[in-house]
Every structure is written in C-alpha cells, then in structure tokens.
Amino acid sequence: MGSQYEPLTPETLGGRLAQIGAITDRLGTDPASWTVREVGDGNLNLVFIVEGGGDSVIVKQALPYVRLVGDSWPLPLKRAFFEYHALTRQAARDPGSVPEIFHFDEEQALIVMERLHPHIILRQQMMAGEKVKDLGKVLGAFAARTAFRGSDLSMSAPDRKADVALFAGNVELCDITENLVFTDPYFNAELNRHTPELDGIVAELRADIDLKIAAQHLKRAFAARSETLCHGDLHTGSAMVTADEVRVIDPEFAFYGPLGFDVGMLIGNYLMAYYAMPGHIADEAAQSDYKHWLLDVVAETWETFREEFSTLWRTERNGMLYPAALYEDQGQGFAAEQALQELLHEIFCDLLGFAGVEMHRRILGLAHIAELDEIEDTALRAACETKALRLGRHLAVNRAGFAGMDAVIAMARAIDEGDGR
C-alpha cells in the first residue's frame, strides 16, 4: 500500500488491499466480490476474515492503542513487525506450527496470513468441553523446539546476538507484561479488577511478602535472562484448534527471555481452565472427565517438552553453550546428560513460577480470561478463582520445592477438593 498508516474497516479493506497479489491470487481481483468481517476478539488488534473466489485469508492490523482500553493507552504499531519476525522464526523452528504468512506491510502494520479453518480458539473449545487430540504433545513440542532452537544451545552466537538486538525493540509490549503480570496483581493498581467476593483473599495475597518477593524474582528473570525467543503470550487464546489439529498464533509479545517462560504461561492457563470447568460443564461426570483430561494435558505438555528438549540437546547442540568438546569428545557424555538434567530442573522451577503469576494476573489484574470471566454466577466464579489463586501462590512461592509435575497435579487436585491451602 506504501502510504501513511490508516486503520482498515470492512468498508475500506477491499479498495485498499486490491493491489496486493498475495490476496488477489487467492480471492480474485474484484474486491467488490469479497466479503469482509472484523472478528478480532483479542485485547489489541483488528482482525478481518476476507473471503472471495472460494478462498479466504486473515488480515491482522495493529491499532495505535490498546483496543481493550481505548486511545488513552497508546501502543506502537511496530508490534506487527515483531509478530511477523516471530512467526517466520517459529515456522522455521517448528514447521507447520503457525499460520503461513502471505504478505507483510510494515507501514500499515498489517499481516495477511493463512486463515485457519475450521479451527476455533482453544479457549472456546475448552469452554465447550471439547477435547483436542495430542494438545499437550503439539504445544509441548512447540515450546521445546522454539525454546531450544532460539537459544545459544543451537544458534550461532552472532546470529543470536543480532536477533536479541532486534527483539529488544519490543519495549512497550514487554512493559505490558512486566507490569500486568509481575507487579500490578500484587497491589491496588489503577486498572485492576476482580470478582467482589475475592476481596478477602486479594487482601491476603497483597500482604503476602513471600509472594511479592517471588513475583519480583520472576520479573527479574523475565527482564534479564534473554535465553531464547519466546512467543511471549502463549495462552489458550493463542492457539487455534480442531478436534485433532493445533496451531499457534499471535506472537506479538515476542521477546528474548527465559527458556521456561512460554511453557509456564501455557501450563498456568491449562490449570485455570481446570478450575473454571464447573462454570461450563454442568453434568458432573462429564465435568470430572474433562478436568481429568486437562490435568493429563498439563502432564503431557511438560513430558513432551522434556523429551523434545532432550532429543534436541543430544542431536542439535551446536551452539556455544555446553559444547561437545567438553563432554562427549572427552568420553564424558554422561556429564552432558547431567548438565541437561540440571538445566531441565531449572526450567521446571521457572515454569512453575511463571504459571503461578499468570494465574494471579488473569484474576486480579486488567486482562482476564473468558474461561473465568464468563461464569455469570459470581459466587461460583469466585470459588473457581480462589482455587486458582491458591495454587498460583504455591507455584510461585514454592516453585523450587516440587518433586515433579505429578506433585503439581496432586496439589491442583487437593486444592480443588478443598484440601490444601
């Protein structure tokens, strides 16, 4: 388009994108025959489905402000640039995991990409009580592959340093996470909101010194440990699914951060969905079965992450870290295995901490999740949220004390059954 930025509308989109070959190749050259719908339900952007000639594409455009709040909160358009670059890296590191990009216009802050169809957002699938085959396997592998292949375990040092510098520009979106995830939930920040019945536990958590220290230790890790290119916002709204396919979307929060960040946010979101199920599945047996499945997904995600990360460690460890020259080449392959186990343990502790604070901010902060917010009975919602807050506190504060994911799952169940504060 090559002109000054202007947000699209369903009425203007056809005229403005009619010259883009990547679109006309698919939808035909007559924009009057296209159908355009704005379907964005996220917190930040415009998202259009454009259909024509029997095909369709997604057009995603950044707005110069936070959509959730309005133009009182400006937000730079360059987030589309970071999303575009993150998608290209994720596609290379885990082929088939993200939508194909057809066109990127930096000035208009827009990406034209594959429409995932008939996929729906994972959280909608969960609220409908529908399972997804191999969910934990696909997302666990995605998290492991992108974590490993974006790190100094795999990349050349010059390439990685250049990439760290590039993504260091995503300042404003990191600032959102730094405030909304790690700080605002733990004091009376202006944009916070919570279910009124939670006043008691909210006061308890905001007076909890161990928790506030843990949250800031985790924030320090987020800000200072540029280990790998993270998706940055991997929750149940950032995956699109069918009953047997899973794709990852929306990496505009991409940044270089801790190896356990994405998998931790993801697991925190599964655990919140687990506690939210009484608000979505009335039949007790069906609800119990679905909750069981969600905890299986937690286990499967971490198990797959461990296995995939370990395989990559043994077969693709070509970066500057833990070089074979020190271990395998000295006949000390066992030492490389020891280093791997130590690193996996560190990732595990970190991921629990990130899961814990994510569970808090989605209940106490500005940006909530539909799984909980859409429970209309506020007493029931507060009961679900209280359990999530309790588990989140344990995960954040005691993240180094869990023997494994089985212990986390056992605690999730104990809290659910009213046993285990």
Instruction: Compute the distance between CA of residue 206 and CA of residue 212 in angstroms, rounded to an integer.
Output: 8
Q: Which residues contact 324 (CB under 8 A, 6 or more apart)?
A: 317, 336
Instruction: Compute the distance between CA of residue 241 and CA of residue 132 in angstroms, rounded to an integer.
Output: 7
Among Mg ion, ligand SR1, none, residue 301 binds (CB under 5-8 Å by kind): none
- Cβ contact 231:266 at 8 Å: no
Binding track, positions 51-90, relative to ligand SR1; x by CB under 6 A: ---------------x-x----------------------
Q: How far is the CB of 265 from ligand SR1 (least distance, A)?
A: 9
Restricted to residues 15-44, the positions that interact with ligand SR1 (CB under 6 A) are 42-44
- Cβ contact 368:362 at 8 Å: yes
Q: Which of 98, 198, 344, 367 binds ligand SR1 (CB under 6 A)?
A: 367
Instruction: Compute the distance between CA of residue 50 and CA of residue 35 in angstroms, rounded to an integer.
Output: 6
Q: Which of 180, 198, 312, 388 binds ligand SR1 (CB under 6 A)?
A: 180
Residue bearing tokens 């799952």: 409
Q: One-letter amino acid identity for 403?
A: A
Comparing CB distances to Mg ion, the nearer of 44 and 281 is 44
Q: Which of these ranges, 112-120, 176-184, 305-313, 398-406, lies near ligand SR1 under the rule CB under 6 A?
A: 176-184
176 counts as binding ligand SR1 under rule CB under 6 A: yes
Q: How far is the CB of 250 from Mg ion (least distance, A)?
A: 4
- Cβ contact 135:246 at 8 Å: yes
> Within its chain, how far is the Cα of 402 from the centroid?
23
Comparing CB distances to Mg ion, the nearer of 214 and 254 is 254
Cα-Cα-Cα-Cα dihedral sign, residues 415, 404, 262, 237: negative
Q: Which of 163, 184, 227, 250 binds Mg ion (CB under 5 A)?
A: 250
Q: Which of 83, 105, 163, 233 binds ligand SR1 (CB under 6 A)?
A: 233
Q: Cα dist. 81→142, 221, 231, 234, 390 in Å?
A: 21, 25, 14, 18, 38
Q: One-letter amino acid identity for 411?
A: M
Total of chain residues touching ligand SR1, rule CB under 6 A:
10
Among ligand SR1, Mg ion, none, residue 191 binds (CB under 5-8 Å by kind): none
Residues that bind Mg ion (CB under 5 A): 42, 250
Residues that bind ligand SR1 (CB under 6 A): 42-44, 66, 68, 176-177, 180, 233, 367
